[in-house]
């Protein structure tokens, strides 16, 4: 199915990340903090992978920017109706579960991993175009899961940035999708895509010229930003 072909691309993309040092174990009780405090990105990242390990996909809702997941799922439909529905009504439980089930399946050994085996760390935080980002890595036991995972601060809450993390596998399909959706939908879709211009730009910036895949992704991102009027 198309979804699994896309996630095969994600699995390849994630292998491009370099390995690093181990992180500090993250407890699921770490979010029990004062209401005025912001839960740290390392806690959010750890909780997300703990949820994926236990296949509790409903628990990911507050840990991920689901409007971005809506986009990545919507491109399977050759019109913009699904994307508009996600933007209006939020991501359906079925679409969310399909996305994360496919991702967890691509990560060998993640499904069924005990929560205490998952640890996360944040390597750096920075601001770009007025948005606060953090980049982290995850370990499962003694093995580091390949890839950098990007979070952004949204309304004082850290959430996984699906575009900056997974967008490399989707940017070319999104550009193709924009060519086949009805002409009347292109302008409103482009307007919605521009809301995440900082995430797309970061995705392009994170690529390196050390491999052909990174060069291609960076070029695709640059072209997409031009096509939606964000550059």
Residue 100: what pLDDT?
A: 94
pLDDT at 2 over 50: no
Compute CA distances 166 → 47, 127, 160, whole Å.
18, 20, 10
pLDDT one-digit tens code per residue, 57-70? 999 999 999 999 99
pLDDT at 127 over 60: yes
Note whether 174 and 212 are within 8 A (CB).
no
CA distance 165 to 176: 20
pLDDT one-digit tens code per residue, 151-184? 999 999 999 999 999 999 999 999 999 999 999 9
Q: Which of 159, 219, 218, 229 is nearest to 190 (CA)?
A: 229
Note whether 66 and 160 are within 8 A (CB).
no
Enter the pTM of the model.
Answer: 0.83
């Amino acid at each position: 199915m198309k979804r699994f072909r896309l996630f095969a691309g994600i699995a390849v993309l994630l292998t491009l990340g370099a390995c690093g040092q181990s992180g500090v174990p993250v407890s699921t009780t770490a979010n029990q903090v004062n209401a005025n405090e912001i839960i740290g990105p390392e806690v959010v990242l750890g909780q997300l992978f703990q949820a994926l390990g236990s296949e509790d996909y409903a628990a990911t809702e507050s840990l991920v920017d689901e409007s971005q997941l809506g986009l990545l799922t919507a491109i399977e439909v050759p019109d913009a109706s699904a994307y508009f529905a996600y933007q209006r009504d939020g991501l359906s439980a079925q679409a969310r579960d399909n996305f994360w089930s496919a991702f967890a399946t691509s990560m060998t050994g993640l499904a069924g991993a005990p929560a205490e085996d998952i640890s996360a760390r944040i390597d750096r935080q920075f601001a770009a175009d007025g948005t606060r980002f953090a980049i982290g890595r995850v370990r499962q036991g003694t093995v580091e899961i390949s890839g950098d995972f990007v979070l952004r601060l949204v309304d004082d809450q850290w959430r996984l940035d699906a575009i900056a993390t997974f967008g490399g596998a989707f940017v070319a399909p999104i550009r193709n999708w924009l060519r086949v959706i009805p002409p009347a939908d292109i302008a409103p879709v482009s307007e919605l895509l521009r809301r995440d211009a900082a995430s797309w730009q970061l995705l392009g910036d994170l690529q390196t010229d050390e491999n052909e895949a990174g060069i291609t992704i960076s070029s695709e991102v640059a072209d997409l930003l031009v096509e939606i009027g964000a550059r």
